[in-house]
Amino acid sequence: MKNLFILLLIALSFSACKKEAATKAPLIGVDPIPPKLISSDTLRTGGQWGLNIGEASSNVYAKFQSIITDKRVDYLAVVGNVFTNLESLENKIPLYRSVYLDETVGTGTGIQLNFTDNKLNSIFTNDGVRLTRWPIVNDAAHSVAVGDAIEGIYAKLTKIKEQGAYTRKFERISIFSKDITKAYDPLMNASPQWYFTSVIDEKHYTTVTLNFSAGKLASIYSTLFETTIANVPAGGDPTLQY
């Protein structure tokens, strides 16, 4: 399930891909079995689970937060949340679960910062190298490190950007993975699509795409899948493995 969403989000968001899978032992001679598509539906009127066509994105987000426990959702991917000005993200970074930094044309040395429990949980380069801090040659005041509080990340990134050797890594700043326990971010109003997955039981899940136009919910596309083995995770974040 997670791989399916990774592919979809990569195609639509043009983000770099982190080769985390390369660190895992391969299953030699075993091909992954794709999930079975049971049904799909597109709504352009009415709504689903209280998410109503025509509502503003801020209202949709509030209603989405109200269903995450019942529908077993633990992520929300915000498509197109890409910026070129770090200053525009002041006070925004704590509302997300990841920040990706890279040049306009993607590089293998782009940096991926992932957050858990309001702390920097992991740092990866786009080519899959795990770091404990970045830049590794800088002192603590001029680098971000695993364990740093999320509230201080923006200030540290500002200092890093001021150093000529790293300025280009701030040409494209992506914040795709929303922390759904936190407040709505007005920047989400410009996104054309949000994604999430609702787990039904150990073998079934529904993927949901919310399509927006001019900041209002225009349509909802839902697809029900069945896996061949009982291993459906309770949600999952498609933006953590770029």
**What residues contact residue 204 under an 8 Å CB cut-off, 6+ apart?**
38, 224, 225, 226, 227, 232
Structure-model confidence comparison of residues 232 and 60, the more confident one: 60
Q: In whole angstroms, what is the distance from residue 193 CA to residue 80 CA?
A: 8
Asked if residue 67 has pLDDT above 70, the reply is yes
Confidence of residue 233 (pLDDT cuts 50, 70, 90): low
pLDDT for 236: 47
Q: From residue 122, how far is each of 22, 66, 70, 100, 231 by CA, in Å?
A: 16, 29, 29, 12, 25
pLDDT for 33: 81
For the chain, the distance separating the N- and C-terminal CA atoms, rounded to the nearest angstrom, is 15
Q: In whole angstroms, what is the distance from residue 60 CA to residue 56 CA?
A: 6
In the predicted model, what is the mean pLDDT of the chain?
86
Phi and psi, residue 195, nearest 5°: -125, 150
Q: In whole angstroms, what is the distance from residue 212 CA to residue 65 CA?
A: 17
pLDDT in tens, 123-150: 999 999 999 999 999 998 899 999 999 9
Angle at the Cα of 51 from the Cα atoms of 46 and 54, rounded to 5 degrees: 60
Asked if residue 91 has pLDDT above 50, the reply is yes
pLDDT for 19: 38
Q: DSSP label at 12?
A: H
- The average pLDDT across 227-235 equals 61
Asked if residue 24 has pLDDT above 90, the reply is no
pLDDT for 31: 60
pLDDT in tens, 155-187: 999 999 999 999 999 999 999 999 999 999 999
Contact 124, 130 (CB under 8 A): yes
Contact 201, 1 (CB under 8 A): no
pLDDT for 176: 96
Q: In whole angstroms, what is the distance from residue 119 CA to residue 151 CA?
A: 8
Asked if residue 72 has pLDDT above 50, the reply is yes
Phi and psi, residue 217, nearest 5°: -70, 120
Asked if residue 80 has pLDDT above 90, the reply is yes
Q: Which residues of 127-149 are buried (b: 16+ CB within 10 A; e: fewer)?
A: ebeebebbbeebeeeebbebebe
Rama region for 80: left / alpha / beta (φ>0; ψ in -120 to 50; rest) = left
